Structure 1
Amino acid sequence: MTTDRELDRLVAAALDEDAPWGDLTSETLIPAEATAAAALVAREPGVLSGSDAFRTAFRLVEPAIAVEFRVRDGERFAAGQVLATVDGPARGVLTAERVGLNLVQRMSGIATLTAEYVAAVAGSHARIVDTRKTTPGLRSLERRAVRDGGGRNHRRSLSDAVMAKDNHLAVLTAGGLDLATALRQARDRLGHTVHLEVEVDRLDQIDAVLAGGADTIMLDNFSLADLAAGVERIAGRAIVEASGGVNLDTVAAIAATGVDVISVGALTHSVRSLDLGLDLDVHPAGAAAP
């Protein structure tokens, strides 16, 4: 969950990047007394996410700007629908516009794509989850966008859980210990609340990983037949996660193998920002808004 303090920090950094010494264009061309009314309009259908970031961009630039959303995060909208209205000092609206749009467009793109994956596995018990392949600095917002799209979150960071991949396992067994013993010794060093996940790339690794006490076993780049065989071999003794080769064309078949979790890096690392626009009218000082 993104705290208000973290949200302010993230959005403030984006604003500092975009206008490090102020908005020269608006300060030169727009009278200080001018006001603006704007509408956030969907150019295509989707699922909303990022409303808090959008609102925060305008608040940090000019607290007098009012932002009112007509659609909530996690709700679907149609092309042409007005998602929010913005009213206030024109200079502030113009200065915050791009940062606010960038954030809400990207987060809505993630939520929309996630919703497609979730719909594709409907009827199975598989969960769609994200990965750490997020935009540096924006992980909290992007994880929220995945949840807004109906997905779930994987570990937030390297500090949250143990995930042993092939290189970790190579180091762990370098001293001559078998994999099961090495994992048990590692398990003994962990706190009782720490989750242990182990990645395997062959069916014959599963028994040793189970004996080592893994809570989750990730079947990485397995064929559909091997995924089904892996689920059967694990037999409920650990959570089964599928990873690798996941896209909208393959995810339903992967879910049908009986896996519990499907991790999808594409939700955040290659998503397309949704097409949203801010239609704006600037009113000179003393002019009444329409």
Structure 2
Amino acid sequence: MMFNGYNEGLVESIRLWLREDVGAGDVTAAVTVPAGHQSKGIIHAKEEGVAAGLPVAALVFEVVDPALTFKALVKDGDPVAKGTVLAEVEGSTHSILTGERLALNLLQRLSGVATRTRKYVDALQGLPVRLVDTRKTTPGHRMLEKYAVRVGGGANHRFGLYDAVMIKDNHIKGAGGIAPAVQRARAAIPHTMTIEVETENLQQVDEALSAGADIIMLDNMAPGLMKEAVGRIKARAPHVTVEASGNVSLQTIYEIAETGVDVISVGRLTYSFDSLDISLDLNERKEG
């Protein structure tokens, strides 16, 4: 089974995560459930939210036991109510129990990210602004969590330190200013790579504009100051993308969007979410 066009690395991770949980084997299942016992596991939501990670859960069970049959009953991105059956997995009871916890852990976390993202997307209804995530992800789970953001209706910022230049306060200090930082970056990177500069005040905004930044981030600015900065940027360089970042919440995001920024980045999408409560119950048992 392929997941979003990517399989080999995810399978390797799943095997590593299974070794962490299963070790030499599931002792409890081995001593309580007869060999050859067959079951059907019903995976259901215990609260409302947005489903995400069903192909990942399917891949977990496939890695555990290719003979297991996994059937998704909803699609990633579907809103689900409390009690909705998300999927069924059928086959060896030992195998289902071995993969259960990892499959649910991933499904719960990714659905939690998608659910939170959808709330932020809904809060921006009617405004032409793009919601994106950040690099504030769980180590080892970035690809999955960023996938869940897309499932929830958001978009991805850079994936890592390697795919875009983002000049932040410490880079500016190390380079000796915004202008030399942008100049050195422009001379070194390919023409296909963008340069983003983080700014905290109007003076830095002007410096970033003069230096030729492709994207200007307005970091932790009050809405009034942010609106002034957007006006200044669009008047001088309408092609420059303006990003708002810092202390964005469901209560503040609409006001931030009204300032005219193009993009709002929200770290809370992947570091401050509640996992969706999802469970697996065996409801059909038979001897193999």
Q: Assess same fold via TM > 0.5.
A: yes
Which digits, 9 at most, give the CA deviation of each residue in 1:72-91, with x for residues without a partner? 11111111111111110000
Cα distance in structure 1, aligned partners of 2:172 and 2:147: 32
Partner residue, 2:109:
106
Partner residue, 1:207:
206
Partner residue, 2:190:
191
1:42 Cα offset (Å): 1.0
Partner residue, 1:216:
215
Which digits, 9 at most, give the CA deviation of each residue in 1:229-285, with x for residues without a partner? 111011024111101110111111111111111111010111110011111136242
Cα 1:185–1:136, aligned 2, differ >3 Å: closer, same or farther? closer
**TM-score, with normalisation over the residues of structure 1?**
0.94
Asked if the contact 1:33–1:284 (Cα under 8 Å) also holds between the matched residues in 2, the reply is: no
Any residues of structure 2 matched to 1:91-240 within 5 Å, and which? 91-173=94-176, 179-235=178-234, 236-240=238-242
Any residues of structure 2 matched to 1:21-100 within 5 Å, and which? 21-100=24-103
**Matched residue type, 1:266:** R
Partner residue, 1:249:
251
1:186 Cα offset (Å): 2.6
Cα distance in structure 1, aligned partners of 2:53 and 2:16: 16
Cα distance in structure 2, aligned partners of 1:60 and 1:32: 19
2:31 alignment partner, SS class: helix
Q: Does 1:279 pair with 2:278?
A: no
2:172 alignment partner, SS class: helix
Asked if the contact 1:210–1:237 (Cα under 8 Å) also holds between the matched residues in 2, the reply is: no
Which digits, 9 at most, give the CA deviation of each residue in 1:50-70, with x for residues without a partner? 111101111111111111011
1:182 Cα offset (Å): 4.2
Cα distance in structure 2, aligned partners of 1:133 and 1:185: 27
1:185 Cα offset (Å): 3.5
Cα distance in structure 2, aligned partners of 1:195 and 1:283: 57
1:254 alignment partner, SS class: helix
Cα distance in structure 1, aligned partners of 2:185 and 2:285: 66
Cα distance in structure 1, aligned partners of 2:230 and 2:272: 29
1:146 Cα offset (Å): 0.1
2:174 alignment partner, SS class: helix
Which of 266, 269, 284 is residue 267 of structure 1 equivalent to? Answer: 269
**Matched residue type, 1:139:** R
Which digits, 9 at most, give the CA deviation of each residue in 1:92-122, with x for residues without a partner? 0001000000000000000010000001011
**Matched residue type, 1:70:** L
Asked if the contact 2:165–2:185 (Cα under 8 Å) also holds between the matched residues in 1, the reply is: no
2:264 alignment partner, SS class: strand
Partner residue, 2:16:
13
1:154 alignment partner, SS class: coil
1:11 alignment partner, SS class: helix
1:135 alignment partner, SS class: coil
Cα 1:7–1:17, aligned 2, differ >3 Å: closer, same or farther? same
Cα 1:200–1:54, aligned 2, differ >3 Å: closer, same or farther? same
Asked if the contact 2:60–2:99 (Cα under 8 Å) also holds between the matched residues in 1, the reply is: yes
**Matched residue type, 2:157:** H
Kindly tell me the number of residue pairs found equivalent between the two proteins.
Answer: 282
**Matched residue type, 2:166:** M
Cα distance in structure 1, aligned partners of 2:284 and 2:74: 24
**TM-score, with normalisation over the residues of structure 2?**
0.95
1:179 Cα offset (Å): 3.2
Which digits, 9 at most, give the CA deviation of each residue in 1:6-25, with x for residues without a partner? 22122212111101111111
Cα distance in structure 1, aligned partners of 2:116 and 2:79: 12
1:180 Cα offset (Å): 2.5
